[in-house]
A and B are shown apart, each in its own frame.
Chain A
C-alpha cells in the first residue's frame, strides 16, 4: 500500500470527464493497482478512483493511470508532502458478527440459560405465519416458544404473540407459553410482554460466547 500526500490536479476521462483543481490530497495506491484520491472530508468516498486492473505510469510530476476500458486518470503533481509504502500482507477478510442469528444458535445449544431445565425441541419451528426461533420443553412437558432479538422492542413481543396464537391452535402443543429473549429489552416491551403473560429475559451475549468458547477443544484457538 502506497500513500502519497501531494499538492496536485487530477483529470479523469472515461465514462465522463472530470477535473479536480489544485489542492492537497491523499493518493492511495493498493497492491492490486487500485488507485483512489481522497480529500480531507467527503466521508469515506474518494474524490476519484480507478479499480484494478490498471496500468500506472509515474514520472516525477505526473502519474497516468489507464485501463483496458478506455478510462484514463492524469495526476499532475506540483509538490509531494509525504510518500510512504507499507506491505500490509494478506487480508483475513471481513468477519461479520451476525448477533441475532448467533444468539439463536447459542441459545439453541443451551436453552436452560433462559429457564432452568428447558430443553430444545426444534430451531425455526414452522407456523403458518413464519417460523418461531426456538420451540422448547420444560421438564414437566410444557411447551415454550422463544423469540430472540438483538434489541427487544414492542414489535418483537407482537410477533411472538402472533406465533403463540397459532401454536396454541395445535392440540399436540397447547398450551404454549412464550419467552421473549434479547440482549436488551425496552421498558415498553416489558410492559406489553407482562400484559400478555410472556416472560421477557435479557441474555448476556458475551457471556454465552464465553460458554461457547469453553466447549471442549484440543487447544486454545484465541
Chain B
C-alpha cells in the first residue's frame, strides 16, 4: 500500500477515525487504524468494538493494499509534518510516513487480527445533522458515566408518531427531547459516549440515521459512525414526570447561569446550591465551611400555592440543565424540596430536564 495526499486532508481522516480508538482496549490491534486502499480511495476504520468510525478520502494511489497502523501515533505524526503532500507507504514490516523532509518509520500491527465487520447498506432516514447534534448535546448530559450500570450510560432512541424521542437519565436527573420530523423506526439504547463523538466524526449538514437490531448507524459524506446498542431495559421514565406543580419561577437563563458560575467557585464535594423561591425572584445561596459562601438575588416571576419554597440542588446538575434549555428564559417548576423539579423554557414543549433535589 502506498498513497499520497495533502497533510491536512490525511490528518482529518486519521484523527476522526482515531476518536473511536480507546486508550485501554481488550485487543492490542484495536489501538490501530485499519487503512485500506483500492481504486483511488483510502478507507480508514477505528473501533473499540462498541464505537466504530469509518472515514474515507480520495488520494493518489501508487499501490493498493491494507494495513493496521498505530492510531494515535499515525494521526499525531501526520499532523506534525510540514504542510503539503504526505506519502504513506507500507511494507510487510514497516510503515513509512514522509512529508517535505521528515520521515517516520512505524511498526504495523497484524492486519489479520483486526476485527472484520459486515459491509453495511445504509438505508436509514436523512436528518438535519445540526438538529440531531443539538438534540444529542441536550440529552447526553443526563447520561451516567458509571460503567457499573450500563443501561444508564445510554440515550434511549424511540420512534414516535411525531418523530424521534431521545431520553437519558443517571437516576439523579433525566433529559427528554422530542425531535419532530425524524421518522426513525424502532427503539434502542445508544451509548452516549459514542453519540458525543457524532459531531466530531461524521457531523455534517445532512446525516443518515438508522436503528438496526444491534447497532445505531449514522453516516454522512464524512464517513460512518456505528454504535453497538446497549442491552437491557431502560427505566420506565414516563411515570417519573409529575402531572402538576404547585410552584414555578421564570428567570432569565443567562442571569441564572452567571449566578451558578459564581456558585461553583465555592461549591465542591457535592455541596448543594440552595434556592429560595419568593415573590419577585429567587435567593441563591451556597455555603462551604472552609471557604465561606456566596449569595445573591435574581429577579423573576414567581407564582405558586406557597408563599416561599426552599429547595437545594447539585449545582453542576442544575447548570447542565439550564445550559441545555433553548431560548432566553428558564422555568423551574417545583413540588417540594423532596420531589423532582422540572427545568424547561416555559414555551418550548420539545425539551425538558427533570432534576432530583438534594437533601439538606
The chain A residues found within 8 Å of chain B, CB to CB, are 52-53, 68, 89-90, 92-93, 95, 108-109, 119-123, 135, 137, 215-219, 221
Contact = CB atoms under 8 A, between A and B. Distances in A.
A218 B240 contact: yes
The A interface is mostly helix, strand or loop, or mixed, namely loop
Interface stretch (B1-9, B39-47, B59-67, B143-151): B143-151
13 contacts: A52-B27, A53-B27, A53-B112, A68-B113, A120-B289, A135-B290, A137-B289, A215-B172, A216-B338, A218-B169, A218-B171, A218-B173, A218-B235
A52 B358 CA distance: 48
Given A68-B112, A218-B169, 6 more contacts: A122-B290, A123-B269, A216-B359, A218-B174, A218-B240, A219-B235
A217 B147 contact: no
Contacts of A93: 147-148
B356 interface: yes
A217 B113 contact: no
Contacts of A92: 147-148, 150
A93 B153 CA distance: 14
Contacts of A217: 171-172, 356
B90 interface: no
Contacts of A95: 148
Contacts of B148: 92-93, 95
Contacts of A90: 231
Given A109-B270, A121-B289, A216 B113 contact: no
A218 B84 CA distance: 55
Could you say which of B172, B174, B290, B354 has the most chain A C-beta atoms within 10 Å of its C-beta? Answer: B290
Contacts of A109: 269-270
Contacts of B150: 92
B340 interface: yes
Contact of B357 (A108, A216, A219): A216
Contacts of A221: 149, 152, 171
Nearest to B239: A219
Nearest to A214: B359
A218 B110 CA distance: 48
Most-contacted residue by chain B among A109, A122, A219 (CB, 10 A): A219
A218 B340 contact: yes
A53 B113 contact: yes
A215 B359 contact: yes
A212 B359 CA distance: 11
A90 B148 CA distance: 13
Contacts of B338: 216
Contacts of B231: 89-90
A90 B152 CA distance: 16
Contacts of B356: 216-218
Contacts of A218: 169, 171-174, 235, 240, 340, 354, 356
B10 to A, nearest CB: 28
A120 B269 contact: yes
The 6 closest A-B pairs by CB, nearest first: A121-B290, A217-B171, A53-B113, A216-B356, A68-B110, A95-B148
Contacts of A123: 269
Contact of A219 (B27, B112, B240, B358): B240
